[in-house]
Amino acid sequence: MMLVAKAALGLGGALVLAGAYTFHEGVIRVDVDEYRPNGSHVHMWVPAAAVPMAMHLVPKHHLQDAAQQSREFMPLVHALFKELKRYPDSDFVEVKDKDQHVMIRTHDGKLEIDVQDPGENVHLLVPLSTLDDVAAQIEASAPGA
């Protein structure tokens, strides 16, 4: 009985530690709702810490292709994400009309993109540090980097 309790305590502790590590960088949230027949409804929560780890599993030639194609824009992307971290809660772009509403802003250190349209709603929330990490990894995988 004591042994089972100890094992449960160990397992519980490990789970708490793993959870704390996995979620310490926040979560990436993607919500897509298409309001049409057979429209897709995607609701996804991914721990942000998992993304840089998952990037290591992407075949190297795919990353090199991505780096090659985005080479011209990478310094801009890198500079933008680095600077955006200094503005953790700011509204940058808002476009609104009778039917649509588009919003790009940072909230709590995350880049938030909201699109509300009679046909679909898209909501994207990504920690800025994750975007910066991904950009840095793509940049580093460029041939000759």
Residue 65 interacts with other proteins (CB under 8 A): yes or no: no
* Position among 41, 68, 69, 92 found at the interface with other proteins (CB under 8 A): 92
Of 16, 39, 42, 15, nearest to 31 by C-alpha is 42
Stretch that binds other proteins, among 36-44, 45-53, 60-68, 92-100 (CB under 8 A): 92-100
User: Which part of the chain contacts other proteins (CB under 8 A), choosing from 14-22, 28-36, 43-51, 114-122?
Assistant: 14-22
Applying CB under 8 A, the span of 20-28, 39-47, 59-67, 115-123 interacting with other proteins comes to 20-28
The first and second tokens of residue 92, run together, are 């940058």
CB of 60 vs other proteins, minimal distance in Å: 26
Nearer to other proteins among residue 43 and residue 87 (C-beta) = 87
Task: Work out how close the CB of 40 gets to other proteins at its nearest, in angstroms, rounded to a whole number.
Answer: 27
Question: For residue 106, what are its two tokens?
Answer: 């940072």
Cβ proximity to other proteins: between 58 and 79 the closer is 79
Output the 3-class SS for the chain: CHHHHHHHHHHHHHHHHHHHHHHCCCEEEEEEEECCCCCCEEEEEEECCHHHHHHCCCCHHHHHHHHHHCCCCHHHHHHHHHHHCCCCCEEEEEEECCCCEEEEEEECCEEEEEEECCCEEEEEEEEHHHHHHHHHHHHHCCCCC
> Which residues lie near other proteins (CB under 8 A)?
13, 16-17, 20-21, 24, 72, 75-76, 78-80, 82-84, 86-99, 109
